[in-house]
Structure 1
Amino acid sequence: MAKKPPLDELLYTDELKKYHQNWGRKGDKALIAVDNAGTPVGAVWYRLFRREERGYGYVNDDTPELGIAIKKEVRGKGLGTKLMHSIIGEARSNSFKALSLSVDGNNTNTIELYRTLGFEEVGREGTSITMLLKITR
């Protein structure tokens, strides 16, 4: 198995740089959670993609793809759920009708969290599951 490159290299691969390059364009939204010292401990974001630049969880040009990252030391304490509720609220207030995401099929705890939030499986590619949340008013 090939060794994973360092994070600063990984973020600039063709597969991942589309998630952060030119941040701030229409349809981009991010929320960052900080601890009591002001240190970032988690983030959630969404971004619109066109079919020709689609991300891993792409569904269509009108549905933002969502991503989330939580530091290991604060996982399992409800932060991810709070961030997800907040970003779903942001998407609703920005009149999006759905959010999509991609998750590793072996990540059963995270898949269960997404299901409890209302996400449903809409596709599979390799070990990746694409899930969709229909946003109601």
Structure 2
Amino acid sequence: MVAFSIRAAGPADGGFLADMLVEAANWRAGATRPRPVILADATHTAYLTGWQRPADRGVVALDPEGRPVGAAWYRLFAADRPSAGFVAAGVPELIIGVRPLWRAQGVGRALLRALAEDARSGGYARLALSVEHGNFAHDLYRSEGFAIVATAGGRDTMVRRLR
């Protein structure tokens, strides 16, 4: 396994989180959804706009030279402004992205575990996410305790109980 480290995400990481949102949207091999198109989409910008709001938390994976290679973060959404994986007010929604060369090396799992622990220690009972059908990360989410609670528009909303 390749060595990497994880640190907390801060306000200065907004640009890198945008990069990872683009990676998450382009999860298919050869996917080419252009960055400007992804970042102009209101569904996607909801995960970034105003980063880092008071309840926003995240983690960043770094390669041995200290370069960011992946990130996971969560946000809270209101019932009148739900996100793609919204299940209820007070349930943070997770977003995760890893650079292609670092996928399938444990980075995503480590990010997911670190963020789930952060949410649990922050007093949250559940963590939600939305994943497209066919996304290889679906198996990762299931193996980490996420279960499908809704399916619509080619996406599954998944939830993990934290306590």
The alpha carbon displacement at 1:131 in A equals 0.2
Displacement over 4 Å in runs of 4+: none
State the partner residue of 1:80: 108
Among candidates 55, 62, 65, match of residue 27 of structure 1: 55
Structure 1 residue 97 corresponds to structure 2 residue 125? yes
Q: Aligned partners of 1:59, 1:41: CA distance in 2, in Å?
A: 29
- 5+ unaligned residues in a row in structure 1: which ranges? none
State the partner residue of 1:45: 73
Q: 1:5 to 1:82 in 2, by over 3 A?
A: closer
Q: Aligned partners of 1:5, 1:127: CA distance in 2, in Å?
A: 17
Q: Aligned partners of 2:154, 2:37: CA distance in 1, in Å?
A: 23
1:22-54 Cα distance to aligned partner (Å, 9 max, x none): 112232001111111221100000000001211
Q: Aligned partners of 1:114, 1:85: CA distance in 2, in Å?
A: 10
State the partner residue of 1:106: 134
Amino acid corresponding to residue 53 of structure 1 in structure 2: R
Q: 1:119 to 1:36 in 2, by over 3 A?
A: same
Matched residue pairs, number?
133
- 5+ unaligned residues in a row in structure 2: which ranges? 1-31
Q: Aligned partners of 1:119, 1:14: CA distance in 2, in Å?
A: 25
Structure 1 residue 8 corresponds to structure 2 residue 39? no
State the partner residue of 1:132: 159
The alpha carbon displacement at 1:9 in A equals 4.1
Amino acid corresponding to residue 103 of structure 1 in structure 2: V
Percent identity of equivalent pairs: 34
Structure 1 residue 120 corresponds to structure 2 residue 147? yes
Q: Aligned partners of 2:100, 2:158: CA distance in 1, in Å?
A: 23
Report the 3-state secondary structure (helix = DSSP H, G, I; strand = E; otherwise coil) of the residue aligned with 1:52: coil
Report the 3-state secondary structure (helix = DSSP H, G, I; strand = E; otherwise coil) of the residue aligned with 1:61: coil
Q: 1:82 to 1:5 in 2, by over 3 A?
A: closer
> How does the TM-score come out when normalised to structure 1?
0.91
Report the 3-state secondary structure (helix = DSSP H, G, I; strand = E; otherwise coil) of the residue aligned with 1:129: strand
Higher relative contact order (CA 8 A, sep 6+): 2
